[in-house]
Structure 1
C-alpha cells in the first residue's frame, strides 16, 4: 500500500507568535512513559509494512554514499533549492513556486505518515528528531528515511497525544522546512500550511483504507490536529461517512498549473455545489 494520495493529488513561514505552545515530544505526553527499544522497533516495523510514505528504517546509517542528515534538508537553502529544481524537472514545469509547493506537500505527507501511524495504531509517540534522521535522494516515490536513533513513549491516555504529535511534525519538521522553502522561493504561508493540512488528511485516508478498524480513531486525532496552531483554519473536514473524512482546503497547492494538471479533490477552486454532490455520492456509494 502506498500513502502517496493526499486529498490534493500530491506532495513556512508564519510568524512565530502564531505557533501554539505545546509540550516537547521528548518529554512525552502527560501520562506517558518511555517505550523500550523493542516496543518502538516493533511498532515502526508494523507501520512501515503499510509501505510507501509510512516506511521508516531503523539503525545505523549504511556505509554507501547518499545518506544525509535531515537537518540539512530542513534548513539548508542550497539543498532545498536543489530539491525544488529536481521536482520542477520531474513535473515538467518552469514555475519554481509550483515545484516548491508540490515538494513541501510530499515531504509533509512523508513526515506525517510514520508519526500518525504509530500514534493511531499503537498509542505510541515517536520522536523524529532531525539530528537522528537521515534521508537520501530517490528517482521517484517517497523520500527514503532512516532513524539512527529513535525514542518513543507509550501513551496511557490517547486523548492527550495531539500536542506532542503536533510538536514533532509541525514545530520540529515542517516549520523549519517551510521557512527554508520561503527563503528559496517566495511562497504564501497559507499555501504551505494548507498543503500540510491536506497531507495530514491524506495520511488519515490511507490509514483508514489500510486498517478500517482504526479509521474513526484516525479521523478524531486528525480533527484535533487541524484545530491546533498553524493548521487551524486551513480547511473544512467533513465526514459524510463515519471514519471516511473529506477535506476542503482554503488554499490551492497550484497543481492545476502543471502541464496536464487539474483541480484536486480538496481544492478551494472546486465549485461548492460540485463538492457537496461529490460528498453526497460518497455517502450513497458507502451504503449509508
Structure 2
C-alpha cells in the first residue's frame, strides 16, 4: 500500500482522520497562513488572540496527528510527513486545508519522533505570533493523540491494546512528554483515559466549556488530578 492509498483508507474513519494527498501554496509553518488561521478562528468564535491561537493550533494538530496515528495502528506503516512535505492547500469550500506530498512510508517506531518534529516548528510559529505557553500547545497536541485513540477504538475495538500502546509511545516522547496522565479507563475509552495537565482555554469562548480531559475538571474517581 502506498501513501495515497494509506491516507484514503484511514480517511474512511471520518473527517478527524482526513489528510489529503497533494501539494499546496505554502509550507505548514508559513507565518502568514498561521496568522490567518488564528485570526479566522478568533473571528468565528469571538475570542481573544490567546484562545484563538490555542484552538487554531489544536485543530491543525488534530489533522496532522490523527491520520498517521491511525495508519500506524491499522497498517503498521506511517507516511513520512515532515515540515517540507505538508502544505496549505485549498479545500472544496474555498477555505484552506492541509495536504501532504509525502511518498515514503516508515515504520511505527518512527511515529513519535515524526509527530514531534512535525509539530515543533508549528508550535514555534504560533508562539512567535501570540504569547501562548508552549506547555499549553503541547497539551493540545497530546489531547489530539488521546482523541484519535478514542475515536479509532470506538470504531475498531479489536485494536484497542495496539491503539493504546502506539498512543502511549507518542505521549511519552519529546514535547508530548509530561503533557498529561494516563488513568484507568472511563467509557468510551478502553485501556486508559487521558487527563491533561493544561487547559486549551475553550472555556473562554462565548458559550464554551471544559473539555472532557481538562485539568480544570474535578479529579476522576479512579485517580487523582493530573496537575495544576
Coarse TM-score class (shorter-chain normalised)? 0.7 to 0.9
Report 1:11-160 matches (<5 A): 38-59=1-22, 61=23, 67-69=24-26, 71=27, 73-74=28-29, 76-93=30-47, 95-136=48-89, 144-153=97-106, 155=107
Distance 1:169 1:100, change over 3 A: same
1:266 corresponding residue in structure 2 = 213
- Alignment gaps of 5+ in structure 1: 1-37, 62-66, 156-160, 280-288
Distance 1:96 1:45, change over 3 A: same
Contact 2:135/2:198 (<8 A) preserved: yes
1:247 corresponding residue in structure 2 = 194
Contact 2:202/2:210 (<8 A) preserved: yes
Distance 1:147 1:224, change over 3 A: closer
Contact 1:195/1:253 (<8 A) preserved: yes
Q: Structure 1, residues 57-101: CA drift from partner, whole Å, max 9, x if none?
A: 335x5xxxxx423x2x41x322211111001011122x1000000
- Alignment gaps of 5+ in structure 2: none
Structure 1 range deviating more: 224-233 or 40-49:
40-49
Contact 1:208/1:244 (<8 A) preserved: no
Q: Distance in 2 between matches of 1:134 and 1:181?
A: 16
1:166 corresponding residue in structure 2 = 112
Q: Distance in 2 between matches of 1:89 and 1:129?
A: 29
* Aligned Cα root-mean-square deviation (Å): 2.5
Distance 1:268 1:102, change over 3 A: same
SS of match in other structure, 1:129? coil
Contact 1:55/1:145 (<8 A) preserved: no
Q: Distance in 2 between matches of 1:209 and 1:221?
A: 16
Superposition TM-score, scaled by structure 2 size: 0.87
Q: Distance in 2 between matches of 1:267 and 1:90?
A: 23
Q: Distance in 1 between matches of 2:193 and 2:66?
A: 18
1:185 corresponding residue in structure 2 = 130
Count of residue pairs the alignment pairs up = 221
Q: Structure 1, residues 233-256: CA drift from partner, whole Å, max 9, x if none?
A: 111112336735321111111111
Distance 1:224 1:132, change over 3 A: closer
Q: Structure 1, residues 249-272: CA drift from partner, whole Å, max 9, x if none?
A: 111111111101111111111121
Matched, 1:216 2:161: yes
Contact 2:51/2:202 (<8 A) preserved: yes
The 4+ residue runs of structure 1 with deviation greater than 4 A are: 137-140
Structure (1 or 2) with the larger CA radius of gyration:
1
Distance 1:68 1:51, change over 3 A: farther
SS of match in other structure, 1:130? coil
Superposition TM-score, scaled by structure 1 size: 0.70
Q: Distance in 1 between matches of 2:175 and 2:100?
A: 26
Matched, 1:230 2:193: no
SS of match in other structure, 1:179? helix
